[in-house]
Structure 1
């Protein structure tokens, strides 16, 4: 009896230490599960926002490529309108519901992806294209346009909807600066956010939307153009995408690391935006590819920047911070047994089978 007591006494501290270690190791896992449980489907307004912005981007891209093939214009101008933005948002929201019906085609995925979904997509695109001419004359769609619509339908069913189905929205908990050490391997306590490349794409598409809305309003006021047709340039995608990406980095550092308020950050944003616009314009002008000229505006410098647009840049800078806060709440997830969209669920509730990237 006396010989066994010391062993028992030594075993109790060891068991206690082991239990403490297990609790410490379980803590990050519990935090990760809590973070995963707080993830929900993307809000409807967020999806509509992305759908409309994405549709405008495709409009600009296709019209710009058409212009390059016919005019060889280095400005790479493309066209869209706020009206088309709304139509794209509603159309792709409906296509989201169509994509969710793929569960009815189990065992026949080829029929869904190559026949059913493309047929619905092409029909909706033809309807949008003829919306303004139904009372006059139905626009005939060429074989080239049908082929382009079919390729885009494959892109939406195979790439776009799959990517959207991985996104979730964290609507609880305070915002915090993303952890650079979290590479999405599931080892961090917080779920991974959007990759930098995706954020760049988002800001580039948003730049297209900004310019299309601005130029459409300008055409309405100055030229009484009620079609609300606006234009932008493919170069704007790179310019806005890179500029907003850097401004977001400034926001994350100045707000979360230094605690600077909005009005203290704003002058830095404005100085960087004007420097970025001037630098891009100076380079593009060397190749006759600069799509803007402010020479006829007051307070301009070399026709590349003007103080007349200062209120607009201030508003966009403030809005940029709001967008960054939204993007901080969007997380990427990965399903162990396939994407939720492949089970007929697009942007549905996060299930226990999902693990964080």
Structure 2
């Protein structure tokens, strides 16, 4: 996928302190008759670092989505290329952290929810988005916002006030698990599968934007740190990481395999997945990457040059999986309105 070191990042954090341990080790550490269930720490709201991480990733996803759709309307390019940058990722994190504080003030509008959701919050949101869009050129000239952009910003503001903040508040994070939850090779229940698929897809966007922006900085001296990816990458990364996570849960919890024993299986699957997707997309002129000019490539769709990057991201995948296993939705539907068992 389009010049990157990313994808189903997969990691071994399970074997580190604070990570999840396989059932085999837990059985060895537990004494007969011991009761560890009471030691489980109660869940709480998502920690600040996790919200900032998610806000940045979600913001990059919206950047890619909107820019790719705009490009599709103008060029009809089946590659569906979209753009963002690490700078925008940071700005999205800070902006939505501030908007989170604004959203918490809705209690001041008791009896007037329409004023808050349709006027006050959208006004703050649009103002911040205009500021972000002009911050690079503010010293030279103020960029004029078109009516279409204002409409898009207003619709996004309604999405954040009516859906995003409200549903995010239903997610809770459990810092640690009791050992009995991991016995019998059964990892703790986290978010439902579809929510994890969406998370991995958005994280794939972030990985590609970060990599391509650094690549452009080193190879082309592009100090704007503009990065790109394709909408197809969402499906590729989401599905690949989802399957690799299943491999991690089985190999780690059921078989007790360590990180370096799991890694070759991860890498083989990633390369197979990348090659398969590229082969299909190429038939429709929708493949956004070409490694033909790289050494050790096969049909221009995969290359061993990116092996170190895939290894790092494969290890990181397990870290992400462990984090997602600690998140739980406290209502009958997750924030994308798909059923989830409590």
Q: TM-score, normalised by structure 2?
A: 0.84
2:238 aligns to what?
241
Q: Does 1:103 align with 2:107?
A: yes
Match of 2:285 among 288, 292, 309: 288
Match of 2:257 among 256, 260, 271: 260
Match of 1:171 among 164, 170, 175: 175
Quickly say closer, same or farther: Cα 1:71–1:117, change in 2 above 3 A.
same
Quickly say closer, same or farther: Cα 1:273–1:127, change in 2 above 3 A.
same
- Give SS of 2:79's match: coil
Match of 1:125 among 116, 119, 129: 129
CA contact under 8 A between 2:295 and 2:303: conserved in structure 1? yes
Q: How far is the alpha carbon of 1:77 from its aligned partner?
A: 0.1
Q: TM-score, normalised by structure 1?
A: 0.80
CA contact under 8 A between 2:39 and 2:178: conserved in structure 1? no
2:32 aligns to what?
none
Q: How far is the alpha carbon of 1:181 from its aligned partner?
A: 10
Q: Aligned ranges for residues 13-92 of structure 1 at < 5 Å?
A: 38-92=42-96
Separation (CA, whole Å) in 1 of partners of 2:186 and 2:203: 28
2:193 aligns to what?
196
Q: Aligned ranges for residues 199-348 of structure 1 at < 5 Å?
A: 199-334=196-331
Separation (CA, whole Å) in 2 of partners of 1:34 and 1:140: 57
Q: C-alpha root-mean-square deviation of aligned residues, in Å?
A: 2.2
Q: Does 1:114 align with 2:118?
A: yes
Range that drifts further, 143-152 or 164-173: 164-173
Separation (CA, whole Å) in 1 of partners of 2:247 and 2:331: 29
Quickly say closer, same or farther: Cα 1:34–1:264, change in 2 above 3 A.
closer
Separation (CA, whole Å) in 2 of partners of 1:218 and 1:144: 32
- Report which structure shows greater RCO (CA 8 Å, sep ≥6): 2
Q: How far is the alpha carbon of 1:162 from its aligned partner?
A: 1.4
Separation (CA, whole Å) in 1 of partners of 2:177 and 2:158: 38
Separation (CA, whole Å) in 1 of partners of 2:138 and 2:283: 45
CA contact under 8 A between 2:185 and 2:253: conserved in structure 1? no
Q: How far is the alpha carbon of 1:180 from its aligned partner?
A: 11
1:24 aligns to what?
none
Deviation beyond 4 Å, 4+ runs, structure 1: 174-182
Quickly say closer, same or farther: Cα 1:322–1:174, change in 2 above 3 A.
farther
CA contact under 8 A between 2:185 and 2:254: conserved in structure 1? no
CA contact under 8 A between 2:184 and 2:254: conserved in structure 1? no
CA contact under 8 A between 2:186 and 2:253: conserved in structure 1? no
Separation (CA, whole Å) in 1 of partners of 2:185 and 2:103: 35
What number of residue pairs does the alignment pair up? Answer: 299
1:154 aligns to what?
158
Q: In terms of Rg, which structure is larger?
A: 1
- Give SS of 2:331's match: strand
- Structure 1 unmatched ranges of 5 or more: 1-30, 183-189, 340-355
Quickly say closer, same or farther: Cα 1:152–1:34, change in 2 above 3 A.
farther
Separation (CA, whole Å) in 1 of partners of 2:201 and 2:78: 19
Separation (CA, whole Å) in 1 of partners of 2:250 and 2:258: 12
- Give SS of 1:204's match: helix
